Amino acid sequence: MRVSAENVSSGGVRAVVTRRVLLAAGGLTLLAGCASAPAAAFTDAAHVADPPGGPTGSGRTPSSRAKPSRPGPAPARRRADEKPMFYVDDGPKAIALTIDDGPSPVYTPQILRLLAKYRVTATFSMIGIEVEAHPGVAREVARHGHLIANHTWTHPDLVFLPRAAVADEMNRATAAIHEVTGRVPALFRAPYGAWSPAVLRQCARTGMTPLDWSVDPRDWSRPGVASIVSNIMDNTRTGSIILEHDGGGDRSETVAALKVVLPRLLAAGYHFRTP
């Protein structure tokens, strides 16, 4: 994901300027929440959240390589009113690292080597068309023991799609991941962090937990290695879910930043877990 905004709680909305806002002066569009757990939905210039604080982000142009939906077997059904997960709960100093928009034949292998060096297990949110284009890389992620989350087939803003199209985007990605890795993803991350009732209902139908984030260093914007490092170190707390990217463009700054933050976080007593 490469678009960012502040968290949205039941008490109010706080948004930060994102790339598309800067480029097109677009506005935010807030949609109604889902059932008893309101889930705000924004345009791709915003991020929907529920916790008290923490910056948030991502983007991709839909591909023409879409195939007919081939949904794989689905995990157990979940509650339709389940909120997205913004934090992990595994005791003091537990945090999670999530890496979006791959797999990439250039940057994913570099990140895998770093994770192996520091014995860190991460969650890779994969786009279906990238899995299809780089199946060997996706298999390597699975072989190294990392989790793989569904990040849609083409990375569209699901808020603007009809319900059938939402289901198709999610099912195609699940099918591609299952076909290549043998795994059925149990986690779903919405592009741009844009959640809607239709997306949450589809998560419930397919048994996927909606996964968000609480620390976004905006690495997609290539703000510089020092900026990425300081953002992560300044904002990470017990339970934080950190957002990074291995796909969607030049991710050399992300790789360089991970070389710094992984040993620093471990030295600070944090331990990584998966959602």
Q: Which residues contact 36 (CB under 8 A, 6 or more apart)?
A: 81
Catalytic residue among 47, 134, 151, 245: 245
Instruction: For residue 124, give every residue at least 6 positions away whose Cβ sits within 8 Å of its Cβ, in sequence order, or none.
Output: 98, 99, 100, 102, 103, 108, 141, 146, 147, 148, 149, 246
Long-range contacts, 234-239 (Cβ 8 Å, 24+): 235/54, 235/55, 236/95, 236/265, 236/270, 238/91, 238/92, 238/93, 238/94, 238/95, 239/87, 239/88, 239/89, 239/94, 239/95, 239/214
Residue 100 among the catalytic residues = yes
Q: How many CB atoms lie within 10 A of CB 119?
A: 10
Asked if 89 is an active-site residue, the reply is no
Tokens 């910056």 label which residue? Answer: 55
Choosing from 100, 168, 216, 246, which is the catalytic residue?
100
List residues with catalytic annotation.
Answer: 100, 245
